[in-house]
Structure 1
Amino acid sequence: MTEAIPFAATVLLLRDRPDEMEVLMVQRHRDMKFMGGALVFPGGKHDAADVGAAKYATCASDDVALRITAIREVFEECGILLAREKDGSGFVGDAHREQIAERHRKRLDKGEMNMVQLAEAENIEFMTDLLVPFAHWVTPTGAPRRYDTWFYMVRVPEDHIHAHDGGESIDSVWISASQALADEAAKLREITFPTRMQLAKLGRNKTVDAALDAARRATIVTVLPEIRDGKLQIPLEADYDITEEELSRALHK
């Protein structure tokens, strides 16, 4: 792992539906320098201040600071808060979540407060134990912006109403993996290569429980795509449906 590459966390927020589970995706603003206009999972860059919030986490895993990043980004982008009342058991109720969002969401997004201050102000703990690692991708060498990104999966609280932030994200949608991929193939949506790979793997399961169980059993192989002979290639061991794709297709050119 190259230390100079910034860490990032991305979250697949899942909910069950009769035919196929759905994942929450957001459309990035066209003017964003990174993935502008694309349909993505909520997520973003790790902030050093997230490390201090580990003492308010519900697990002590090695990646707990990055899990805090994941929870912060989901809250900033979608308003969904993966937290519980301190010493509680279930998610923060939606009424309290709305109050927390009104008081702190914009301040958190602007960097005017951090996750430690949020936990202390609202007497909450971050439910890091519910996040299940799903994938690990590093942006290819030579790309103008590179990130060392961990993907996590989690079942969302059913009563939490999401709302995209209107800044980085201009729209949001609950969508099945199969529908998202079909929309991308029909050029109705722009979805990047790494996101399509996660959707394809997610789509192997129809329920949230099945997806989470599969992720817990799987061995995560770091994917650092390489460009060879006009193709973008990824390791077979990473267990995606393909190991290479024409560069023009992968880069939407």
Structure 2
Amino acid sequence: MATWDGTAAPTRDAATIALLRPSAGGPETYLLRRQASMAFAPGMYVFPGGGLQESDREVVGWAGPTSSQWGDRLGCDPDTARALVVAAVRETFEESGILFAGTDAGSVVADTSSPELQKARLDLDAGELSFGDFLGCRGLVLRSDLLGAWAHWITPAFEPRRYDTRFFVAAVPRGQSVGTLPGEADRAVWAPIASVLEKVKAGEAAMLPPTWITCRELVRVDPAGVVDEAASREIRPIEPKLVDVDGEWFLDNPIEEETHG
């Protein structure tokens, strides 16, 4: 940061989903630990997600809120909103095996553990298959109604790699389970959110502020009602900034004080 010249790198649109399921220890979430060799957020625990791809703008089978409704919720044009939802669902399937899709607006794939679907995850991740083609050839539609928009974070201007990320939330569909570990991660866990927060506080796990704050906000949320909870939230862009305090630089998080307690 000391050598930053004040020029901000461009941002890339991205999307992520905080997956939730109930447990005796409170709501659990699914986290991936990024490999130490990764250029962005090495060693950090993150939700499944990633950058928007051009193929995410292709036509896909769709059920749930319209592109315009998602655009109003996400604060962007309908085409970009639709692509962000597609990216969130695609990346989550690639990185966890959880699939928010069904044969119609009232169904969801009950089991994604088949070798055929696991191979499709690899093909999607390698860019050898578009998500639209994946859904289309199986007669599936994306269930956008199973997602809720939760937050909008923008990487600080001084970072060399920057993302304009929409955070979604969703309960894991009944019967589905996570698959094999994706290549960008060296560990994946389902863990009670309360336990995750304690491990981060104790220095036993590392998270970027957006992931940490999202976990803190979700720690008491019932997974079955998380989409309804999301619908009541105000979403505005959050971009932490550097501030000079008596000659020392600190990262100012504009919602940190709001989320304490």
Under a length normalisation based on structure 2, what TM-score does the superposition of the two structures give?
Answer: 0.84
Shift of 1:100: 4.2
Aligned to 2:82: 64
Q: Which runs of 5+ in 1 are unaligned?
A: 243-253
Q: RMSD value over aligned CA atoms? A: 2.2
Instruction: Please tell me whether the aligned partners of residues 110 and 173 of structure 2 are also in contact (alpha carbons under 8 angstroms).
Output: no
Instruction: Please tell me whether the aligned partners of residues 164 and 170 of structure 1 are also in contact (alpha carbons under 8 angstroms).
Output: no
Of 44, 51, 65, 1:38 maps to 44
Of 12, 20, 33, 2:18 maps to 12
Q: Deviations over 1:16-49 (max 9, x none)?
A: 1234111111111111111111111010000011
Q: Which runs of 5+ in 2 are unaligned?
A: 1-7, 72-80
Runs of 4+ in 1 over 4 A off after TM superposition: 236-239
Of 93, 107, 129, 1:75 maps to 93
Moved more, 211-220 or 141-150: 211-220
Give the AA of the match of 2:121: R
- Structural mapping, 1:105-124, within 5 Å: 105-124=121-140
Aligned to 1:222: 237
Mapped partners of 1:46, 1:33: distance in 2 = 17
Cα 1:23–1:208 change in 2 (3 A) is same
Give the AA of the match of 1:154: A
Give the AA of the match of 2:101: A
Q: Which has the higher contact order (CA 8 A, sep 6+)?
A: 2
Instruction: Please tell me whether the aligned partners of residues 163 and 172 of structure 1 are also in contact (alpha carbons under 8 angstroms).
Output: no
Of 202, 213, 223, 1:186 maps to 202
Aligned to 1:177: 193
Moved more, 21-30 or 231-240: 231-240
Cα 1:16–1:122 change in 2 (3 A) is same
Shift of 1:226: 0.7
Percent of paired sites with the same residue: 30
Shift of 1:82: 1.0
Cα 1:122–1:99 change in 2 (3 A) is farther
Instruction: Please tell me whether the aligned partners of residues 151 and 235 of structure 2 are also in contact (alpha carbons under 8 angstroms).
Output: yes
Shift of 1:160: 1.0
Aligned to 1:231: 250
Under a length normalisation based on structure 1, what TM-score does the superposition of the two structures give?
Answer: 0.86
| 2:166 is aligned with 1:161 | no
Moved more, 206-215 or 65-74: 206-215
Instruction: Please tell me whether the aligned partners of residues 100 and 122 of structure 1 are also in contact (alpha carbons under 8 angstroms).
Output: no
Mapped partners of 2:134, 2:174: distance in 1 = 23
Shift of 1:210: 4.5
Aligned to 1:207: 222
Give the AA of the match of 2:184: E
Aligned to 2:102: 84
